[in-house]
Amino acid sequence: MHSLPDGYSEQTMTIEDVPRLTRFVNRLARRWIERDVISEDRLRLTVSVPGIDLAESARLIFAANDVLAAAGFVFHRDPHVTVHGWGLVDVPHQGLGIGRWLHDWILTRSRDALQMATADARVVVRQTSFNGDAASDAFLVNAGYTRTRHYWRMLIELTEPPATPEWPDGIALDTFDPERDLRAIVRASRDAFQDHYGFVAGSFEQELERTRHRIEGDPGFDPSLQYLAEDGGEIAGLCFCSPNEAGDDTTGYVQSLGVRPAWRRRGIARALLLHAFGQFHQRGTRAVSLHVDAQSLTGATRLYESVGMRVDELTHEYELELRSGVDMTAKEPAS
């Protein structure tokens, strides 16, 4: 493993580091996009998800005088075939070998997944970069990664009321009741996203625990922005929204929009999305955004464009194979 340059030291992360790390991440992100990418509440929620041990999953690198120079994070969950990692080095500290040290650490932590995944499963590490960040792209390619996917942030400006949604026959709109619907929405979400690129089904109970954590631990969670499309008591589709994106109250955010395969191609996703737009417009929210796989296997990008959303940002996903084997992740659309 590479060594840190003289004058730099590593530390484990604690929950008390969230405000400082939030500022660090947003400052670096603003080099490539003109906005923050995460809020303190969202980062705190992310790093406290059940199953994440910060002492094992995060590292902060400090220069002299307690200056935060770099940070890294890595996590994986059941069935442990996809490891998500990222490393950020502040500009004044680049070119000194800190990125190599962080990458060595990410790979070391990632190899734990090899012991936890089934023996015949393919295991990969994934990282992302902002469009235009040539240094990060070159670093990942030189480290053996392959660019595998592109993701868009799409945006609609709510300068006028959106179109009125048209609900298919038999479909009723309801809002999400956490006490009543939690298990049902986890089942529906797994069904709706089973053929989205990279999806892999893990433990239902662990996903239920993570979902409960995201709801109960998010001070901005608003039940009135969580919508269900129901058919005879069955959840056909869902649309979960946040009142802001990365703390920006002028922009609402669609966290999740999905329709279960048995109910697709009936206009349910469109109706849910237009309903969400209408609710945001009534609140005085100026815009709504979401993130989507630019090569969506389910044709989501066509839907978003058809309701007036446009591509606003581009990020790239890179993948490094740790072990070859049976690929358990979705790579083709459902038949």
What single letter denotes the amino acid at residue 154?
Answer: M
pTM, two decimals, is: 0.94
Domain membership of residue 272 (yes or no) is yes
Q: How far is CA 221 from the centre of its chain?
A: 17
Q: Is the alpha carbon torsion for 115, 118, 122, 125 positive or negative? A: negative
CA distance linking residue 130 with residue 141, whole number of Å? 14
Domain membership of residue 211 (yes or no) is yes
Q: Are residues 297 and 216 in the same domain?
A: yes
- Torsions phi, psi of 80, nearest 5? 65, 30
Listed residues 117, 134, 167: the one ending a domain: 117
> What does each C-alpha distance from 154 to 14, 146, 221, 246, 272 come to in angstroms?
33, 25, 22, 15, 17
Domain membership of residue 300 (yes or no) is yes
Listed residues 57, 87, 117: the one ending a domain: 117
Q: Are residues 106 and 21 in the same domain?
A: yes
Task: Determine the structural domain holding residue 107 and report its residue range.
Answer: 9-117
Domain membership of residue 329 (yes or no) is no
Q: Are 86 and 109 in contact (CB under 8 A)?
A: no
Q: Are residues 108 and 172 in the same domain?
A: no
Q: Are residues 210 and 300 in the same domain?
A: yes
Domain membership of residue 59 (yes or no) is yes
Q: Are residues 108 and 174 in the same domain?
A: no
Q: Are residues 90 and 183 in the same domain?
A: no
Q: Are residues 113 and 166 in the same domain?
A: no
| pLDDT number for residue 298 | 86
**Residue 278 burial class via C-beta count within 10 angstroms: exposed 0-12, middle 13-18, buried 19 and up:** middle
Domain membership of residue 1 (yes or no) is no
| pLDDT number for residue 331 | 73
Domain membership of residue 319 (yes or no) is no
Q: Are residues 110 and 199 in the same domain?
A: no
| pLDDT number for residue 287 | 98
pLDDT, averaged per 10 consecutive residues of the chain (335 residues), comes to 92 97 96 95 95 94 96 95 96 95 96 94 96 94 97 97 97 93 96 93 95 93 95 96 96 97 97 98 98 92 97 97 94 60
| pLDDT number for residue 300 | 93
Q: Are residues 113 and 190 in the same domain?
A: no
> What does each C-alpha distance from 110 to 20, 117, 146, 156 come to in angstroms?
25, 11, 17, 37
Q: Are residues 161 and 99 in the same domain?
A: no
The count of structural domains within the chain is 2
- The CATH number of the domain holding residue 236 is 3.40.630.30
Q: Are residues 30 and 175 in the same domain?
A: no
Domain membership of residue 144 (yes or no) is no
Spell out the long-range contacts of 38-47 with Cβ–Cβ below 8 A and sequence spacing 24 or more.
Answer: 38/246, 39/244, 39/246, 39/247, 40/247, 41/218, 41/219, 41/220, 41/247, 42/218, 42/246, 42/247, 43/18, 44/15, 44/18, 44/217, 45/213, 45/214, 45/217, 45/218, 47/13, 47/15, 47/18, 47/73
Q: Are residues 202 and 82 in the same domain?
A: no
